[in-house]
Structure 1
Amino acid sequence: MKQKNISLLTLLLVFIAWPSGLLAQTRLKVAYPTTVGSMAVLWVAKEAKLFEKQGLEVELIYVAGSSKVVQAMLAKEIPISEIAIPAVIQANLAGADLIMLAGPNHKPGQKLMVKPEIKRREDLKGKKIGITRFGTSDDFLLRYVLGQWGLQPDRDVALIQMGGSQETLAGLASRAVDGGMLSSPLHLQAAKFGYSLLADLSAIGVDYQGAGVVTTKSYMRESPDILRRYLRAYVEGLHRFKTDKSFAVKVIGKYSRITDHEALEETYQHYAVKVMPKVPYPTVKGIQMVLDEIGSRNPKAKGLQPGSFIDVAYLKDLEQSGFVKTLYGE
């Protein structure tokens, strides 16, 4: 009897001492719409097991195109995603309740890659340009830049839905389209197929709210603790991305299926060094830019405030707790 009591006590002590991250994990499905560098923070957090550290068993699901991701979120199939603000705004204008909690991508990363015979903007007239899907960042930014050039989307230039970024690249390889919107590292692969860079949208001088952590207001009410833990892992993933280059480059290569070192290096430099801040607050100025552009086509967007599409309370709590400074040794 004495031996049995000792054994039970030993088991109890082991259970108490067992790391909390190794106990039952909360399962969570998270969607991402493209295989380019703007998704890197999510990928790094997953590969570094930072979600598990916060008691979350995250399953990453690739759903080509943010408009398809939104459909899955509204059907309550996926509670969290990594999508850009145009998809959030357009979904909410149609009655959805999406909200962005973090957004490290403050500049557009897209490049307009075209056949070599297209040398000037005017040469785009009558041509077909591949995008992922309507309602995505590719769609929004291409329409924006064409408008800046005095070209009318759909009339002067045909926008062709390809499905996803890999499908856009495949369309270029097969010459199914005359050009395509691609981000690092995929645009360098297009260059190897003989395509030329007509426009680097990261150099057009505008703030833009790209991919970030998006959920629904209803999920915020139902699962605040899960979101708090998710963002803690995400912010640590951002730190790992910015400070562990060799690991980050391997992760980008894995998810993008690109092995070219030059392409991976350029991708890392653009996102980790040039674009992403230590604390991933969404850019209000970048959201306003999107609202202005959408408002020119949809009167419902006029007068809406950028702050109505974001909630940074969780990020503020993390920053005020000293978590970010501790990560960076400040």
Structure 2
Amino acid sequence: MRNTCHSKDARALRQEKSLSVECKRIASPLLFCLLMVLSALSCSESNGPEKYIVTTQALSGASWPLFIGVEGGYFDKYGLDVDLRFGRHPAGIAGVSSGDVLTINIGLDTGLAAASKGKRLVMVGSPVNVGTFVLMGTKETQDVKELADKRIAIGRVGDPPYHYTLALFKHLGIRTDNIKWIPSGGAPTRMVTMINGAADAALLTAPTYYKLIEEGYPVLVNMSDYPEVIIAQAYMFHRDMLENKPDVVENFMKAVIDATHRFYTDKPFAMEAMRQHTNVKDDVTLSQVYDDYFAIEQLERIPYIRQDAIESVVERNSERLPELKDMDFSDMLFSSVLDKLAEEGFFEEIYGPDIKKELKEAQAAAAR
């Protein structure tokens, strides 16, 4: 992914050598040195920041640090030229696994399941730990407990909405044995699937469900009312990147942390960043989405993957993935990247000294 001036072809090297000899013959030593300095500067400028692909599965507020990272120049600030792309599960995991993609922000349930299948995939940091999903029902459905044997629209079996719905129902004591899962794609198409009568409920993100509420569809559950049902995401990387280019991962995390600070301090810019990367264009809706995320402080200022999030994933997936119970996750969770930033005072540099208490609490709650 990185181009350097050390990769010059043989012809270029011969030309440079010839220029060097000629300069030595006809120019003063001072002029010769000046030419060499200018050549080095030109080479450096031609490289620019390192180019990397970053993938997101969520064109929603959970990806706000990525949106702001691009639009606010934070990736550039830390030496990364990021091409942000949208990709549905499992395209992002495949890209990271192959080395074509630097990272993906992915649901922790999906991420742990993927990382457990070998040693290639690891996780660093968690942008969110609270869900803003809302379970919407048809107008004929008035109580979430009515869904025990009904049809529920999801992206696909194994994706985040599927895992989150399972977690919610388990918490509420609703059996899922007889539920029929309807693969429907992203939040807008899940909504359409339900409206058209092909599903009885759908787990949706803002702002997709705003229109449904206006039209009289019932909110069966707002997951922000159940913080004990932890809905976490994580940034997934290839292990080789952590072992061979840790500075790249560190700079990525610096950029998203810096961008998260911008989210909390600059609402107009955060709204514009989302406008540029999603289909949400009008100010009223953008403002409402921002206010919803800001009110529950959904984006993590200190983005450690939490131990209780790991435990929640293992517990709610114990029947489907029993091997998770006995797994040592310490080898796939690189909290050391954030520990290093904390030791260097990066969080205080971004947020000021008042962040110390929150930092201490986040480190104590981190999975290691």
The interval holding the TM-score normalised by the smaller chain is 0.7 to 0.9
Does structure 2 conserve the Cα–Cα contact (< 8 Å) formed by 1:35 and 1:166?
A: no
Q: Does 1:49 align with 2:73?
A: yes
Deviations along 1:94-150, whole A, 9 cap, x unmatched?
335322211120112211011121001232244321112222221111112223344
Taking a change above 3 Å as real, the CA distance of residues 234 and 217 of structure 1, as seen in their structure-2 partners, is: same
Q: Secondary structure of the equivalent of 1:249?
A: helix
Taking a change above 3 Å as real, the CA distance of residues 173 and 122 of structure 1, as seen in their structure-2 partners, is: closer
The equivalent residue for 2:134 is: 111
The equivalent residue for 1:259 is: 281
Structure 2 CA distance, aligned partners of 1:269 and 1:292? 32
Identical columns (%): 21
Structure 2 counterparts to residues 251-330 of structure 1, below 5 A: 251-273=273-295, 274-305=297-328, 307-330=330-353
Q: Secondary structure of the equivalent of 1:102?
A: coil
Taking a change above 3 Å as real, the CA distance of residues 204 and 134 of structure 1, as seen in their structure-2 partners, is: same
Structure 2 counterparts to residues 177-196 of structure 1, below 5 A: 177-192=199-214, 194-196=216-218
Does structure 1 conserve the Cα–Cα contact (< 8 Å) formed by 2:132 and 2:206?
A: yes
Does structure 1 conserve the Cα–Cα contact (< 8 Å) formed by 2:125 and 2:235?
A: yes
* TM-score, length basis structure 1: 0.87
Does structure 1 conserve the Cα–Cα contact (< 8 Å) formed by 2:96 and 2:236?
A: no
Structure 1 CA distance, aligned partners of 2:263 and 2:316? 32
Of 79-88 and 304-313, more deviation after overlay is shown by 304-313
Does structure 2 conserve the Cα–Cα contact (< 8 Å) formed by 1:137 and 1:210?
A: no
1:166 Cα offset (Å): 3.4
**Out of 136, 140, 153, which is 1:130 matched to?**
153
Structure 2 counterparts to residues 1-330 of structure 1, below 5 A: 9=34, 12=37, 24-65=48-89, 67-95=90-118, 97-153=120-176, 155=178, 157-192=179-214, 194-206=216-228, 208-273=230-295, 274-305=297-328, 307-330=330-353
Structure 2 CA distance, aligned partners of 1:154 and 1:7? 78
Structure 2 CA distance, aligned partners of 1:60 and 1:261? 23
Q: Which runs of 5+ in 1 are unaligned?
A: none
Of 97-106 and 272-281, more deviation after overlay is shown by 272-281
Does structure 1 conserve the Cα–Cα contact (< 8 Å) formed by 2:128 and 2:232?
A: yes
Q: How many residues align?
A: 326
Q: Secondary structure of the equivalent of 1:213?
A: strand
Letter in 2 for 1:210: A
Structure 2 CA distance, aligned partners of 1:6 and 1:79? 43
Structure 2 CA distance, aligned partners of 1:76 and 1:266? 37
Taking a change above 3 Å as real, the CA distance of residues 145 and 94 of structure 1, as seen in their structure-2 partners, is: same
Does structure 2 conserve the Cα–Cα contact (< 8 Å) formed by 1:106 and 1:209?
A: yes
Structure with higher Rg: it is: 2
Of 97-106 and 260-269, more deviation after overlay is shown by 260-269
RMSD after superposition: 2.9
1:93 Cα offset (Å): 3.2
Of 78-87 and 177-186, more deviation after overlay is shown by 177-186
Of 315-324 and 118-127, more deviation after overlay is shown by 118-127
Structure 1 CA distance, aligned partners of 2:331 and 2:210? 37
Q: Which runs of 5+ in 2 are unaligned?
A: 1-25, 354-368
Structure 1 CA distance, aligned partners of 2:101 and 2:282? 33
Query: Which gives a bigger RCO, structure 1 or 2 (Cα 8 Å, sep 6+)?
Result: 1
Does structure 2 conserve the Cα–Cα contact (< 8 Å) formed by 1:87 and 1:136?
A: yes
Does structure 2 conserve the Cα–Cα contact (< 8 Å) formed by 1:100 and 1:311?
A: yes
Taking a change above 3 Å as real, the CA distance of residues 237 and 15 of structure 1, as seen in their structure-2 partners, is: farther
Structure 2 CA distance, aligned partners of 1:206 and 1:158? 26
Structure 2 CA distance, aligned partners of 1:311 and 1:130? 34
